Structure 1
Amino acid sequence: MTKASEFKKKDKRYKKAWIISVNMGYGHERAAYALRDIAAGGDYIIANSYKGIPKEEKKSWQESRKLYEAVSCLKPIPIIGDIAFGIMDKIQEIPNFYPRRDLSEPSIQLKGTFRFIEKNNIGKALVDDLTEAEQRLPFVSTFFIPSFAAELYNYPGEIYCIICDADFSRAWVSQDAKRSRIKYFAPCGRVVERLKLYGVREENIYFTGFPIPKELIGGSNAEIVKRDMLDRFCNLDPNGVFRARYEKILKSHFGNSLKTCGRVKRPLTLTFAVGGAGAQRRLGIEIIKSLREKIKRNQIQINLVAGTRKGLAKYFETEIKKLGLKRNHGKGINIIVERTRPEYFKEFTKLLRTTDILWTKPSELSFYTGAGIPIIMAPVIGSQEEFNRLWLQQIGGGVDQLDPQYANEWLFDWVNSGALARMAWNGYIEAPTHGTHRIEQIITGKEVELEQLPLVV
């Protein structure tokens, strides 16, 4: 495995790179958003809907996306949803890690992906355009298909792919992994080791962590994270249980600022984020229903994140009225919906700075525990989320939800005992925090002093 610090001065680095993503769900694009500072042209490129994409290629992408979102939305429906999602999940199955063995043989899904690319010329026009526009700029993709296309169509510069989950299927690595020139950014230690099993050469693997927006982190000292965690501790540990028990180690990080809780003016704040397909919208209302009396008493405020889905926001608004909480809309209950994805990512990042608890399915947002945010996990959708869940539990940054109809009881037990404060601390200490900084360092060569990440698998 190559470390960012091992680049030599003579290696040619770049100030910018082509940052490529797809708008299937939010996860891949969320990673690209965090890297927009080094994006050539001032923004990342959506490979399946950019301006100028050939009509036939766009149609092929759209059919693929519709299938994914349709099956995801069917998941909550008994029997039918389980069957449909089970078939899709089986195709994308992640093989058991142990015993360690050679897993470099291409999977059925991977072979199908290459047929899809070659038959429909997926990515060819984009690769040709980028080659002509600015030869040799690094090509950084947050999804495997654009990186495959870049290699297949002989993009002249370096090609990188960002893995967006704590484990992943063989479909993310090229058919001839040992000879492929695609390099990978790994969000956690398990991904590093999995890449080796799939046949990727060690020099093409970089352990960086998942790219979290720098507005949530700060610089190499994580000054923004530390400042926000101090506020978070005040709400997550109102009785001082966690801070008393870990006083010495906390003081070594925060100094005497640990006791200054007078400045925290907001109530306990919980953010519920629905995935891109909107499959778990009912859960958000179940949470509101359980906590409504505490919302009325200003003991907690809830952010319902609808992303860019106006229909989902309308659903939340309608259900809140049915619960007799219309007057609390905007005062105790906030619905977040934005016109575009970049606007949503910007607002969501801002929102997390004043969020004490993030309640979401274990998607790529699992890695945001590295910003000192405890995560309550909704039920998984897809096998990769099961691995995110296990990773989050292993590092101690998150916990499975209990019955949401009793959240008014168990959630406040976790708060009053300091349990969620402990999860916030574990996430910050154990999960990679500076993924964006490390990726930028590899691309630009700009030196950043960061601690070496432990290879937790």
Structure 2
Amino acid sequence: MSEKKINLVAADMGYGHQRAAYPLLDLGGDEIITINNYAGIPDWEREYWVKSLRSYEHISRLKKLPLIGTLIFAVMDFFQKIPARYPFRDLSQPIIQQKYFYRFIKKGLGKHLIETMKDSQLPFVTTFFVAAYIAEYYNYSGDIYCIICDTDASRSWAPLHPALSRTKFLVPSQKVKERFLMYGVKEENIIITGFPLPKENIGVNQEILKKDLARRVIELDPSKKYRDHYQSLLDSEVQNKPENFVPPLVITYAVGGAGAQKEIGELIIRKLALEIKKNNIRVNLVAGNRVEVKEYFTAAILRAGLALGGGVNIIYSPDKINYFSQFNNCLHDTDILWTKPSELSFYSALGLPIIMSTPVGSQEDFNRNWLLDIGTGVDSPPPEYVAEWLPDLLASGRLARAAMDGFLNAEQMGAYKINQLINDKK
């Protein structure tokens, strides 16, 4: 068991908060403290969080319904909307969402958790902004850090009164630092680290990442269009010759935490069934910890005339930590990551081209724009025609370029930088 150097706190709401915490497990003594589901949580707090999560997941699934579903989701999304980046202006005034959470914090939300840590001097590191509110409101004894989980952030991620706050924010980029300055956070409380990615996919000297990327670029560039133009770049940046290179092309399709867009996974395997049977393509369907999504995918594989394990695998575990481990392991062989632009957008830094399904919410709109800006994201053409447009993307070298653009333009070393930050504070 690793030495506990921080109190690592996340929320069990979808995957984003816990996925960001997972690479820091070694700092947390192999423990993620789940603010809405920890041992000893008061019953009323658990009930509050359960109702909040159910409401969010229900609305997320409603979004695909015409008119009424779209309208209901738009109302919810309005309260977490990220304002336009320009012009640079004062955005420090609190918003309704913050006042809502603080109303419950003043009634005692989170107080019990902070009291259980009253004798701890360890840094409080969280991937959930409400946990940072709580730690500061109830005078947590140690330093407080909040990790930002998207490529941009709404006002809710900053403190209610930012000029008076001692919380330090670990942000993914200069752009997000500038956003937090607009929110009124003191510059000395903003630290650019990058998003924490799984160290088992990187290596201290990026040796794991580069080995995976060298193989992937060849798989994504069957016509050599990319390599004919950029071989010198590959030689200087990747410096790795793939060994035992063997197809097939591997696509990993991941649904979000609410299980939305699982139907796209079925379309992919149905339309690519012939290539899967020929062993030209393999597909990982990522169900996460959602048993109902796993069951849907299992039935979908049979409906497509395929067999589980016969070119199609399901990534699933009821335990999220085990799921993250399985998912990260499957990325070594993955050539294309197909998902909505969630926190998985940051995984483009591993040299993974992202085929983006429809964003869900304001933060995912910003993630999509970021992926397009750095060249590593591709908007998904209609999934029902994947058998036609996927070969075109491969032949053009576009996906090989997207893989390299992610590697060159996004930050890989966030988890290592956070480790260093914590160790330097000791």
Q: Same fold (TM over 0.5)?
A: yes
Which residue does the alignment assign to 2:263? 282
* Conserved? CA contact 2:22–2:321, under 8 Å: yes
1:116: how far off?
2.1
Q: Verify: 1:192 aligned to 2:181, yes or no.
A: no
Letter aligned with residue 118 of structure 2: T
Give the match for residue 304 of structure 2: 323
Tell me if 1:310 matches 2:291.
Answer: yes
CA deviation string 1:27-59 (max 9, x = no partner): 00001111101004x311101000111111111
1:157 aligned to which of 142, 145, 151: 142
1:58-457 matches, cutoff 5 A: 58-119=46-107, 121-132=108-119, 134=120, 136-219=121-204, 221-255=205-239, 257-258=240-241, 260=242, 263-325=244-306, 328-445=307-424
> Residue 314 of structure 2 aligns to which amino acid in structure 1?
I
Count residues with an aligned counterpart: 424
Which residue of structure 2 aligns with residue 32 of structure 1?
A: 21
Alpha-carbon contact 1:440-1:446 (below 8 Å) kept: no
Q: Are the equivalent residues in 1 in contact too, given 2:203–2:209 (CA < 8 A)?
A: yes
Q: Give the Cα–Cα distance (whole angstroms) in 1 for the partners of residues 360 and 372 of structure 2.
A: 17
Kept in 1, the 8 Å contact 2:135–2:144? The answer is yes
Residue identity in the other structure for 1:127 = I
The 3-state SS of whatever aligns with 2:196 is coil
- Secondary structure of the equivalent of 1:37? coil
- Structure with larger RCO (C-alpha < 8 A, sep 6+): 1
Q: Which amino acid aligns with 2:404?
A: W
**Residue pair 2:4, 2:28 contacting (<8 A) in 1 also:** no
Matches of 2:408 and 2:118, distance apart in 1: 41
Does the 8 A contact of 1:75 with 1:279 survive in 2?
A: no
Unmatched runs of 5 consecutive residues or more in structure 2: none
Give the conservation status (yes or no) of the 8 Å contact 1:271–1:355: yes
State the distance in 2 between where 1:446 and 1:235 align.
43
Query: Is this contact kept in 1: 2:288–2:316, CA < 8 A?
Result: yes
Residue identity matched to 2:352: I
Q: Which secondary structure state, in structure 1, belongs to the residue aligned with residue 41 of structure 2? A: coil
Residues 1:254 and 1:166: Cα distance change in structure 2 (over 3 Å):
closer
**Does the C-alpha gap of structure 1 residues 174 and 389 become closer, same or farther in structure 2, counting only changes over 3 Å?**
same
Counterparts of 1:110 and 1:172 in 2: how far apart (Å)? 9
Q: Identity rate of aligned residues, in percent?
A: 48
Counterpart of 1:178 in 2: which secondary structure? Answer: helix
Are the aligned partners of 1:74 and 1:279 in contact in 2 as well (CA < 8 Å)?
A: no
CA distance in 2, matches of 1:278, 1:106: 32
> 1:229 and 1:446, CA in 2 relative to 1: closer, same or farther beyond 3 A?
farther
SS of equivalent residue, structure 1 residue 38: coil
Determine the C-alpha separation between the residues in 1 that align with 2:4 and 2:10. Answer: 19
Measure how far apart 1:15 and its partner are.
Answer: 6.8
Determine the structure 2 residue equivalent to 1:44.
Answer: 32
How well do the aligned residues superpose, as a CA RMSD in angstroms?
Answer: 1.5
Structure 2 residue matching 1:43: 3-state secondary structure? coil
Give the corresponding residue for 1:5. none
Q: Distance in 2 between matches of 1:115 and 1:198?
A: 21
SS in 2 for 1:131: coil
Could you tell me how far 1:188 is from its partner in structure 2?
2.2
The 2-side partners of 1:433 and 1:384 are apart by 21
Q: Compared with structure 1, are the counterparts of its residues 113 and 357 closer, same or farther at alpha carbon in structure 2 (3 Å cutoff)?
A: same
Which secondary structure does the structure 2 equivalent of 1:306 belong to? Answer: strand
Distance in 1 of aligned mates of 2:425 and 2:355: 36
Contact 1:307 1:337 in 2 (8 A): yes
Contact 1:362 1:378 in 2 (8 A): yes
Q: Hey, what's the Cα distance between the residues in 1 that align with 2:425 and 2:228?
A: 40
Alpha-carbon distance between aligned partners in 2 of 1:331 and 1:379, rounded to the nearest angstrom: 29
SS of alignment partner, residue 117 of structure 2: helix
Secondary structure of 2:26's counterpart equals: helix
Matched residue type, 2:295: K
CA contact (8 A) 1:295 1:301 kept: yes
State the distance in 1 between where 2:381 and 2:224 align: 24
For residues 206-247 of structure 1, what are the alpha-carbon distances to aligned partners after superposition, in whole Å with 9 as ceiling and x for unaligned?
Answer: 11111001001100x211100000111121112222112111
Take 2:150 and 2:72, find their aligned partners in 1: how far apart are those partners? 22
Cα distance between partner residues in 2 of 1:110 and 1:178: 16
Amino acid at match of 1:124: K
With the length of structure 2 as denominator, give the TM-score of the two structures: 0.97
